[in-house]
Structure 1
Amino acid sequence: MIRAIVTGTGSALPANRVSNADLAERVDTSDEWIVERTGIRFRHIAAEHETTSSLATDAARAAIAAAGLEPGQIDLIVLATATPDQTFPATATKVQAALGIDDCVAFDVAAVCSGFLYAVQVADSMLRAGVHRRALVIGAETFSRILDWEDRTTCVLFGDGAGAIVLEAQDDSDGRGILSTRLHADGRHNQLLYVDGGPSTTGTVGKLRMKGKEVFRHAVVNLAAVMGESLDLAGLTPADVDWVVPHQANARILDATARKLSLAPEKVVVTVDRHANTSAASVPLALDVAVKDGRIKRGDIVVLEAMGGGFTWGAAVVRW
């Protein structure tokens, strides 16, 4: 059996790190208010010259280097983003050009905060089908470009950044790789988390809008369910899990989801305090942190999960 093995991770953050106290100087909020409700302490905000593609390229270079490869050895790029550089072409093609790759398959996936999980399943399927050998899967966002900085209930929650992994098709000789993935979508909840603009409706980019309490309730239920489904598909139980790398939206969602699955809090990788919600970038960003600091080791069972606007949600089980 051919499986997609994670051979490298990487991440990139804008240089400008903004604290809650910094935000309080321009928005009616406070460090105490933000920390109590979200667990967020810092976020990174892109400068004018920093874009989704530039952050994605930096994360991609780091992941490729960690995998011991050269950019030309990548033959598939799947980039998840809700904040592309342009309406078209795909931001993935800008990353391809920046990496100096003359020809490979490159396209974007749009599933907001779940985008990275969607991109992982797409790349995993293409690798296992034998169509490609090495894939670069990226989650990258500049959410600061679509925030309403007059709305203190949303603008404090998000940040910018990018994370990437390299997946390589290898023979399943030691049981490593992506063991299962499970994705969902339910478009009936569009108005709970959305952007109020678009090319075919308003002709504008629009701003993010969210009904936080309703999103919170759906997130806890859906994330616990899809994690259970993905573990069932892999023939595993929560007791087998070494690490959960969740979408970094809100510390309270992370805690509630862990309790629902009876997972020990220390098994959950948390970076929301330092990165805030970076949408499609949040899972690969947190993953890179846990790999680089040595928590995630070869052979560990790692569960990735996320939920975002749409609603979309999903999970993947990986043996590292």
Structure 2
Amino acid sequence: MAIRITGTGSYIPSNIEKNEDFNQHEFLNEDGSTINHHNEVIIEKFKAITGIGERRYVENNLNTSDIAFYAAQNAIENAKINQEDLDYIIVGHNYGDVKHNTEQSDTVPSIASRVKHLLGIKNPKCVAYDILFGCPGWIEGVIQANAFIKSGIAKKCLVIGAETLSRVVDKHDRDSMIYSDGAGAVIVEESTEEGGIIAHESATYALDEAHFIYFGKTNHPEITDQRRYIKMYGRKIYEFALNNVPAAMKSCLDKSGYDISDLKKILIHQANEKMDEAIVQRFYKLYKMKMPEDIMPMTINKLGNSSVATVPTLYDLILKGELEGHIINKSDVIMFASVGAGMNINAIIYKY
């Protein structure tokens, strides 16, 4: 029995926030001091490092659960299944529903329960739950769906990654330019076809690394409200990722039985263009090889970093012919990989 992704869907918000839209922001250092560069220089350096030229923000009337629902609808339609036959709905996210112009995250009921409600699924045996696993949350959800199906307790699972990071960014923090909104979803089910999920790898580094990404106060010293924002230690994350992600990717590939030459695409979390390139280059270096051209499709330049949504959105766009220069052919061996808050790492080897 193979366990395959039989349908994909995504929701990409229509609001485009370009880099130049940040020109009027007052960026400050973490201690509240002034940055000794004009915004044009800050933004130019940001683009050179991250590769981000623009990102997407959700419309004011939408929340994480709404865009998760839209992506789910697309995946269900693409898979041509009856949604009442779903055994699990698993939603990876990090901040729940944060309504426009509000400060509080809303996670009760779960995002998965809200999606099930919006889909109108009547079957009570369709179990809906959320997973908080940082940016690797969607991949971890697919790994869990794979385990449920392998064990015989499920046949069809809906796995979603959705996030509205624009609602939790500090406009006085340069890192706020990284984050974006979006949702991606897949149907995972048993199949008579060959291939599918071949191997997977997961790890959590929490002894020294747990708080590399955290919720913290604004950089502006005169703002005294209690609101908290997504914050990170960028240099520490960069070093952590380069030191640990390539080895996890290698472990996953080695477990699969496939050779490095069999790998056609690496769909890595769209975190930071330079960091992602460095990770994949180090991965190939472990096999004493150079990174092939076109192995690593990127959407970060246009869509930014939407956390759990980056990998499923990327996959959906490629399969539907919407990412120029990249295709996935029948029987291609590909890898999904991610790193993020926790600090968590995971990867999947998948034969399309």
TM-score bin (small chain): over 0.9
Which amino acid letter does the alignment assign opposite residue 301 of structure 2?
Answer: D
User: Within 1, Cα distance between the matches of 2:61 and 2:259?
Assistant: 45
How many pairs does the alignment contain? Answer: 310
User: Within 1, Cα distance between the matches of 2:275 and 2:335?
Assistant: 16
Which amino acid letter does the alignment assign opposite residue 203 of structure 2?
Answer: H
User: Within 1, Cα distance between the matches of 2:330 and 2:85?
Assistant: 23
Compare the two structures and name the one with the higher helix fraction.
Answer: 1
Q: Name the structure 2 match of 1:200.
A: none
Q: Secondary structure at the match of 1:66?
A: helix
Q: Determine if the alignment matches structure 1 residue 258 to structure 2 residue 280.
A: yes
Taking a change above 3 Å as real, the CA distance of residues 35 and 127 of structure 1, as seen in their structure-2 partners, is same
Q: Secondary structure at the match of 1:266?
A: coil
1:213-235 CA deviation, whole Å, 9 max, x = no partner?
11011112222111101111111
1:101-137 CA deviation, whole Å, 9 max, x = no partner?
1121110000110111111111110011111111111
Q: What is the RMSD computed on CA atoms of the aligned residues?
A: 1.6
User: Within 2, Cα distance between the matches of 1:97 and 1:205?
Assistant: 30
Which amino acid letter does the alignment assign opposite residue 75 of structure 1?
Answer: D
User: Within 2, Cα distance between the matches of 1:27 and 1:290?
Assistant: 37
Q: Determine if the alignment matches structure 1 residue 162 to structure 2 residue 183.
A: yes
User: Within 2, Cα distance between the matches of 1:284 and 1:160?
Assistant: 13
Counterparts in 2 of 1:1-320, with a 5 A limit? Answer: 2-28=1-27, 29-30=39-40, 31-85=43-97, 86-103=106-123, 104-152=126-174, 154-171=175-192, 174-188=193-207, 189-196=209-216, 206-262=228-284, 263-293=291-321, 295-320=327-352
User: Within 1, Cα distance between the matches of 2:243 and 2:52?
Assistant: 22
State the identity %: 29
Q: TM-score, normalised by structure 2?
A: 0.84
Moved over 6 A (4+): none
Which of 1 and 2 has greater Rg?
Answer: 2
Structure 1 contact 238–261 (Cα < 8 Å) conserved: no
User: Within 2, Cα distance between the matches of 1:247 and 1:8?
Assistant: 20
1:32-84 CA deviation, whole Å, 9 max, x = no partner?
22210100111111232111111101111111111122322322111000021
User: Within 2, Cα distance between the matches of 1:41 and 1:224?
Assistant: 27
Structure 1: tracts of 5 or more residues without a match: 198-203
Structure 2: tracts of 5 or more residues without a match: 28-38, 98-105, 218-225, 285-290
Q: Per-residue deviation at 1:264?
A: 1.1
Q: Per-residue deviation at 1:310?
A: 1.0
Q: TM-score, normalised by structure 1?
A: 0.93
Structure 1, 118-127 or 66-75: larger mean CA deviation: 66-75
